[in-house]
Amino acid sequence: MLFDEISLSPQEILEQEFKIDTRGYRPQEVDKFLDIIINDYSKFISLIKKIENENKELIDENMKLKHELRNTRDKLEILKSSSNKEITNVDLLRRISQLEKIIFGNETNQ
């Protein structure tokens, strides 16, 4: 995840202690600045989590749509292959012949 690349957590920044020399920085200014960093850092982490969740949802939706597309293409191929079968006169004559056998065959058995 992205958090593995982050060196410091907001809590680590908050707990950071600085050595104070006679000519060192003012602790109040450092604390104020660190508070801003902590706030930004927390927002940064929450944004990353939100974006990762959105990304996961989009990946799932994309997979579903690909599956639907694949199914639709398969159905289209089936329809195309079944519509390419033309009914010829020979096919019609065979069907009529079969119907006559059924109809006239039943009449002779009665």
Q: In angstroms, what is the C-alpha Rg of the chain?
A: 38
Q: What is the pLDDT of residue 54?
A: 97
Give the model confidence (pLDDT) of 43-101 as tens digits: 888 999 999 999 999 999 999 999 999 999 988 887 777 665 666 788 788 888 888 88
**What is the Cα 95 distance to its own chain's centre?**
50
Determine the Cα angle at 10 with ends 9 and 14, to 5°. Answer: 120
As a whole number, mean pLDDT of residues 22-47 equals 85
Q: What is the pLDDT of residue 28?
A: 83
Structure tokens at 6: 């982050």
Q: What is the pLDDT of residue 32?
A: 87
Q: How sure is the predictor about 107, in pLDDT bands with cuts at 50, 70 and 90?
A: low
Phi then psi for residue 24, to 5 deg, are -75, 180
